Amino acid sequence: MYKIIKKRELTTNIYLMEVEAKRVAKSCEPGQFVIVRMDSEGERIPLTICDYDREKGTITIVFQTVGAGTKLMADLQEGDSFHDFVGPLGCPSEFVKEDLEELKKKKILFVAGGVGTAPVYPQVKWLNAHGIAADVIVGAKTKDLLILEKEMEAVAGNLYVTTDDGSYGRSGMVTQTIKDLIADGNQYDVCVAIGPMIMMKFVCLLTKELNMPTIVSLNPIMVDGTGMCGACRVTVGDKVKFACVDGPEFDGHAVNFDEAMRRQQMYKTAEGRAVLKIEEGDTHHGGCGNCND
């Protein structure tokens, strides 16, 4: 059992939990995720690791209540436990594998949208711990939906907060802030964008125009976290990938966002999954290679 050490409501329907999971904390890296279950019959819920403490043996997760499983999770309290807490899963951020001296020469921009701030935070924190100050744009629809602002401010080189309605920080979409930073003379070697699919799509359209290499994390489309369900199937360049086993990070300029978002909507219904099964044949499921069940 994996005990919940701390629980905090960050904002409406968005929660942070610190969970005792020593083996996961010992080996995880920024960019990876875990799968949690509340009981032996419970829903498998993949969640990106927001933070970790190797000495304490804890993992921090952030989640939004969007379905039955996450609503049940929100009812758990400090002292309660998860039945399963599996990880680390997925591939670590590319930065972890790069030569540190070469990485220090790069100017890096992170763009976080909504709950996407949670998976951005451990990457920026890791860079900060290695002497690299990355610029960060955090966007939300309103001030009330902003999360982890103080935590991000403590590890970012420069933090730019923007709200769609102008209720806090800069006014407008994150893409406008990118344009403003470039207009002010800032140049970036790479951009990392994590957030809603539609946000990542438009960030990538802009950064492609700016010739700015861009990494995206497709954790929003993961369902079971094994590649078996076919939910996170995505075309990257001319290849079929699965976010949970091949990612979650990919070259944003090569991702077919329109196809991925269409699949997200279709996958919600049995009829939609049946259509996808016919359209995609043997590539519909990742791990099993067939669709007999």
What pLDDT is recorded for position 58? Answer: 95
> What separation in angstroms does the CA of 247 have from each of 148, 208, 233?
24, 21, 11
126 within some domain = yes
Query: Domain limits at 75?
Result: 2-89
The letter for the amino acid at 126 is W
On whether residue 96 sits in a domain, the answer given is: no
% of the chain residues with pLDDT over 70: 87
* Domain endpoint, select from 89, 113, 131: 89
Residues 15-62 have pLDDT tens digits of 999 999 999 999 999 989 898 988 887 788 888 899 999 999 999 999
Count of the separate structural domains present in the chain = 3
Query: Strands 2-11 and 33-37, how do they pair?
Result: unpaired
Task: Give a yes or no: residue 271 inside a domain.
Answer: yes
The pTM of the whole model exceeds 0.75:
yes
Query: How many Å apart are CA 98 and CA 116, to the nearest integer?
Result: 23
Q: Is the pLDDT of residue 262 over 90?
A: no
Predicted pLDDT of residue 85: 92
Q: Are residues 78 and 107 in the same domain?
A: no
Tokens in use for 103?
Answer: 């990485």
For residue 183, tell me if it sits in a domain.
yes
Helix (H) or strand (E) holding 49: strand 45-53
Q: Where are the beta strands (DSSP E) in 101-168?
A: 108-113, 135-140, 158-163
Question: Above 90 in pLDDT, residue 70?
Answer: no
